[in-house]
Structure 1
Amino acid sequence: MHSTVGIGSDGDVAALADLVADAERVTDAARAAQIHEVRVLAAAGRLAEQQSAGADERVKAREMALRSIAAELAGVFVTTDRTLQRRIDEARDLVENYPATMTAWEAGRITRGHVRVIQDTGCVVPGEVRDEFERAAIERCEGETPNRVRDTLVHLAERLHPRSFSERHEEAAAGRCVRVQAGPDGMSDLIATLPTVIAEGVVDRLTRQAREIIDARPHADGAADAAADDEAVDTDAATLDGSSFAADTRTMDQVRADVFADLLLAGTPSLDPTADGDGNGALGAIRAKVQVVVSALTLTGKDDGPADLVGRSPIDAATARELAGDNTAWDRLLTHPVTGTVLECDAYQPTAAMRRLLRARDRHCRFPGCRQPAIRCEIDHTHAASDGGPTHVGNLAHLCKRHHDVKHHTRWRVKQLPGGKLVWTSPTGRVYREDAPRPVVAFTIVSTPGVAPPDESPPF
């Protein structure tokens, strides 16, 4: 049985419902004020251009007019004129180049967060196809949180870019470097500019090694206590156990930083709970893990579309092919030709088939708005196993630790429909539908002259 906390009675639910209603009114008022502010700032930018029209050295004249107007408005907004000038430029870009986004925002279809994501990701899209980008982006944003939809919009913008992602990545990778940025109090930032998949792998390995060290502390505490009670134990060994791990109070960030320095300077972590007196331990054997989704056409070299580094950003086709080639246990997905929903998953080497399919289907935590990658989540029985819920893909979904606890210990409720759709009900009765996410990588059906298109997508 699971205890329920947070909302204890019907009266509490009613009070929360009143707060939700107030929040909706506040949100509507805030949206109207935000839109009005954007239009005021955009008008300020147009006024600066009108004031400089016909003047000599027009670029300089416009800049001076814009600075003057920004300085005037900065007093009202209680900020610097430099900040106001940047906001004026952003507002004008939004109003003039993203009219459909403004309309959707005014209608309440999307939020300010969605608008920022559309504007941020759409900056690489050529003007002649921006309308197409806007229409698709707004459709993706409806019903999703801004952080969830960002990856999809990044891939959408990449597909509409005139230059391939692989070509631009190759140029960017030529600028990889390591540099030191001095900081206060005898500290510095060591900054490595690397391909995203490498950087994510570095952080993953550091995190898992740090977790091994932190998890060893309870065992070290027990060993130190036993050593203190046993007079026959080797004093040096007891001291070593106690000083190395039992007294270790470092945070996760501190352990990661220390392991990072050890690996670069010595090639292996200096503090390894799996080591013994005869040699190195197993900590150094931990390798990085990343989760990548790539289409079959990209793998076979038929196109150079970017792959998806789940939970992060696109990666170039060459890197995706290299990762697939070096990996001995990768999953093949069968997707619906229209919706893109994952229908089937198999592998060339058998592993835990159910976990593979769920990881492919869910991709991230299935609580509304959460983007924690599936490889960092727990698999939850939607209908609890203790209540007779079967261990079947139709009753399982990935939830991060935070939202797994929310499901079991609060009045949030969820049921799973066919196709991996989750329907969440909040304590106040609000319903949130969580469809299994479509892969952001384009799974294209290639037509052959004279051959009718298949009823299902290619087996990937």
Structure 2
Amino acid sequence: MHSKDEVGSGSDADVAALAELVADAAGVTDAARAVQIREVRVLAAAGRLAERQAAGADERVKAREMALRSIAAELAGVFVTTDRTLQRRIDEARDLVDNYPATMDAWEAGRITRGHVRVIQDTGCVVPVEVRGEFERAAIERCEGETPNRVRDALVHLAERLHPRPFTELHEEAAAGRCVRVQPGADGMSDLIATLPTVIAEGVVDRLTRQAREIIDARPHADAAGAGAGDTDPGDAAAEADANADAPNGSSFAADTRSIDQVRADVFADLLLAGAPSLDPTADDDGNGALGAIRAKVQVVVSALTLTGEHDGPADLVGRSPIDAATARELAGDNTAWDRLLTHPVTGTVLECDAYQPTAAMRRLLRARDRHCRFPGCRQPAIRCEIDHTHAASDGGPTHVGNLAHLCKRHHDVKHHTRWRVRQLTGGLLVWTSPTGRVYREDAPRPLVAFTPAADPPGAGEPPGIGRAPADSPPPF
């Protein structure tokens, strides 16, 4: 028998309040499901519209892609996201509506949740069309009353069992999608994600773990060597100093307190940044190849005060996130190809650019001004973009910084092959107009980090475009 004052039992009023909350939660869940389903159908309709627009056009695949990019860019402004993300969501919605009708019906009826729908769609993509209906029915039954994470493994096996092709063939196709990508995180950190065959991924982690364990196991020997340093002769001391020179951060292994996860991550980064692949098509008979000599390249904007150590303000890793001052100084110390910029003290706009080594001045200035692709919402770094004539050179547009801007390959194609239009105003301001007439203003990006350690100068807190619009620019929109 339970006591009335047992923790969690509550009074009758508390129970009634909880019941009301549960009812409200159920109502919210139903409303959210209706909105999610409506969004999926809207996005699927956008995909069908792109297909109709491309119907009958030459190079149909390319025409459909350009139509889809244009529509995705239009909707991205409404959803406040990137057009790449919208295009992926359109493809997913089209696949769901067209190929999983029973799943959509079960979702609308409240039998399954959005999480279940994702699992069914993810695991069912390998199932042939002729047996997909059977897969859907069995998958929906398994999902009812269970959480999505608990049914995923069962649905994976169900999909494999229904597939007429052997697993080996399916794996070969899946392996063709192997890739590496970066997922930005907080505080100057990111996740480097490699999609690899499972056996390779497990092997990589195993080797990193064993190498990290060797480093950690070597610490007691380093401690003992350090304790007996007073009994060594000068030659032994010199040898120990040489061995410690390669330790992390220039310190001795005896002072190494990193965890195994930290050591694994550091070894992983060292191998990728400084190692050479085992197969190098450029290698000569002596085994010397060009791939091992290739070094990583990033685009960083850092203030002179940070470089000189007068303050520790972060630097801007273009297209990604801020990086800490110590890393910026280390990069600067190892690099002789820095561009020196003169920026406006309030707006941060690049006014002049020169370099310690002679390069193409116009390209330097544009790279410094734009920093990334200038299509609305895109953050592809300028070093991986193309320089585009805003007013086409073939139509008389001059090759001048006031008529040039960086566009990534994707958005360069959108500009030239869809109804998106752009004009460039003073100061690198781009004004984009979508096919439906929506207007997007793309100011030359301001630095993500403040380069003034003291109080901000007057007007520094004003939003971009307020009180400083060029004379020939439209009013802020």
Q: TM-score range by the shorter chain?
A: 0.3 to 0.5
- Higher-RCO chain (CA-CA 8 Å, sequence separation at least 6): 1
Q: TM-score, normalised by structure 1?
A: 0.44
The structure with the larger Rg is: 2
Q: TM-score, normalised by structure 2?
A: 0.42
